[in-house]
Structure 1
Amino acid sequence: MAIVIGIDVGISTTKIVGINDEGQVVAPKRIKATDPVASLYGAFGKYLYDNKISLSDVEKVMITGVGAAYIDSPVYGLPTAKADEFISDGLGASYETDIDRMIVVSMGTGTSLVQCIGDDIRHIGGIGVGGGTLMGLSRIMLQTDDIHTINKLANEGDLKNIDVQIGDISPNPLPGLPKDATASLFGNAKSNATREDIALGIITTVLQTIGSTTILSSLGSGIKEYVLIGNLTLLPQCKTVFPSMEKLFGVRFIIPEYSEFCTAIGAALVYVKGKKGKE
């Protein structure tokens, strides 16, 4: 069995997948990253062991992500190359959704936006708001950056105690804006707001900011489908924030099955599809 390994070495996590000779994704895996080199080799070794893959089965190792800059030699002596992260985002999202006109929204520590129209994949920008923002604000405001604790708190929160909604400033809906639409993030926050309300406010602020930026980035392109990838797609609040924005703006946000592994999948596909990687 020949297999191509894709590894996304990120700031906080390393993700690894395989693409077999039938073009199928094999057992994606993620581990928490502390040191990028150690996490890459640890993830690779565990992946091979868990899936009973021998080194001789590996045709190519493709690495991408910010941590790839620390890797300067072949992984375990195997043929190794570096894949462009934005190309990997586009190829992975296309593979997972079979959509050929979209903006890929990579929600990691920050957020990058990649426009895909057929084979034309290009980075169109990004914002410094993402998982790093969520963690930083939570450390300051909630005295924790444990995502499970933050989620548990947010599940009990009420946005009416944090945000200003249209209904708070107008007795009637405004043109194109229902009364429950957000007028000001954190605009209604009180000094005695509960930790639960604050947690929900932080998550909503990050997700709404990413969603609004994505919609604005597509103006004039005719694109109305946005594929969300990265670790933040695992937040349960994605299932409420983005559908509300879909209804409000007439667009579509899609979270594919392997959303957190799309970049790693795309890195492997760079080789599979014969695109250029840096050896």
Structure 2
Amino acid sequence: MSVIGVDAGGTLTKIVYEENGALHFKTFSSEQQVLQWLGILAQNHKLYITGGKAEKWRGIFPHAHIVGEFEAVCSGAKLLLKEEKTDLKQFTLINIGTGTSFFKVDENGCERLLGSGLGGGTFMGLGGLLTGESDYYELVRLSKEGKRELVDLSVRDVYEAMNSPVPDHLTAANFAKGDAFSKKADKLRALTNMIAETIILLASQASQAHKLEDFVFIGSTLKSNPALKEDLSQFQDMLSYTPIFPEKGAYAGSLGAFDVGRGSEHSQNRQ
């Protein structure tokens, strides 16, 4: 029997399944749509579910198997790196979902280091409050077009003609120049940058003790989001890290659940 890997997140549902020897990846924003879709396929597939809503979904699909979220994310990330022929022995894994989790991954396994409430939920929620927009792709489009220096106070603004003790392009205060006349795009780029700055600072602090220099970013908030990727990459010279963005990083959780399920089913079939 075939397997479907499901990442039932707080905002989006990501699915991985195999058909005709190839993996397929789907994203649903509507819970009703994905439940209808799965209701049909679940008759001939076994569901392996991870994510914040996994237990809720098992109430709907009682024969589904629950996969621990951290296990699924780490397993999926390793598979994505292997698929892209990126050979890393150890790295910091940063999963930007509704919030953000940070993991140490090495040959001994995967260990969660810390987490933050800033992530995709912040981008959607605060982004909506700032602009009145609610569509993810519209928020991403506006962010890409915005200029955060029109909203953020930079070190350059503070020191003006004086020599600053730190690089003058850094943020002195997020949103300090924003007002009622600030454009939607500029506010969204400032928000994207604030999220990225916080994530990089936390990742850097968490990684120093373990001497990890490669940062692997996954999670649905990175999907079609060039502004966030750019802002996450802006501190390389200062903090000495290498950002890596697997192409299908949004599906790490669902791919990991799928892989656990596939291994389990193969093991049972051999018995």
Q: The TM-score by the shorter chain falls in which range?
A: 0.7 to 0.9
Matched, 1:266 2:256: yes
Task: Show the counterpart of 1:172.
Answer: 163
Alignment of 1:46-65 (within 5 A): 48=41, 55=44, 58=45, 60-65=46-51
Structure 2 letter corresponding to 1:41:
L
Q: Give the secondary structure class of the aligned counterpart of 2:142.
A: helix
Matched, 1:93 2:77: yes
Q: Choose the corresponding residue for 1:240, options 222, 230, 235.
A: 230
Task: Show the counterpart of 1:6.
Answer: 5
Q: Give the secondary structure class of the aligned counterpart of 1:189.
A: coil
Q: Give the secondary structure class of the aligned counterpart of 2:93.
A: strand
Q: Gaps (5+ residues) in structure 1?
A: none
Cα distance, 1:272 vs structure 2: 4.2
Q: Give the secondary structure class of the aligned counterpart of 1:196.
A: helix
Structure 2 letter corresponding to 1:6:
G
Q: Gaps (5+ residues) in structure 2?
A: 83-87, 266-271
C-alpha spacing 1:67/1:219, structure 2 compared with 1 (3 Å): same
Task: Show the counterpart of 2:268.
Answer: none
Task: Show the counterpart of 1:33.
Answer: 30
Q: For the aligned residues, what is the CA RMSD?
A: 2.7
C-alpha spacing 1:122/1:188, structure 2 compared with 1 (3 Å): same
C-alpha spacing 1:259/1:251, structure 2 compared with 1 (3 Å): same
Q: Give the secondary structure class of the aligned counterpart of 2:233.
A: helix
Q: Choose the corresponding residue for 2:98, options 100, 103, 109.
A: 109
**Whole-angstrom CA distance in 1 between matches of 2:220 and 2:22:** 18
> Is this contact kept in 2: 1:17–1:25, CA < 8 A?
no
Task: Show the counterpart of 2:241.
Answer: 251
**Whole-angstrom CA distance in 2 between matches of 1:187 and 1:73:** 47
**Whole-angstrom CA distance in 2 between matches of 1:273 and 1:199:** 42
Sequence identity percentage: 24
Q: Choose the corresponding residue for 1:81, options 65, 71, 74.
A: 65
**Whole-angstrom CA distance in 2 between matches of 1:115 and 1:248:** 21
**Whole-angstrom CA distance in 1 between matches of 2:100 and 2:22:** 25
> Is this contact kept in 1: 2:91–2:213, CA < 8 A?
yes
**Residues 48-86 of structure 1, C-alpha deviations (whole Å, 9 max, x = no match):** 5xxxx982xx4x4311011111133684x8x63111001
TM-score norm. by structure 1 comes to 0.81
Name whichever of 218-227 and 162-171 sits farther off: 162-171
**Whole-angstrom CA distance in 1 between matches of 2:36 and 2:196:** 32
Structure 2 letter corresponding to 1:14:
T
C-alpha spacing 1:95/1:25, structure 2 compared with 1 (3 Å): farther
C-alpha spacing 1:85/1:43, structure 2 compared with 1 (3 Å): farther
Q: Give the secondary structure class of the aligned counterpart of 1:66.
A: coil
**Whole-angstrom CA distance in 1 between matches of 2:35 and 2:183:** 43
TM-score norm. by structure 2 comes to 0.83
Matched, 1:147 2:136: yes
**Whole-angstrom CA distance in 2 between matches of 1:85 and 1:248:** 32
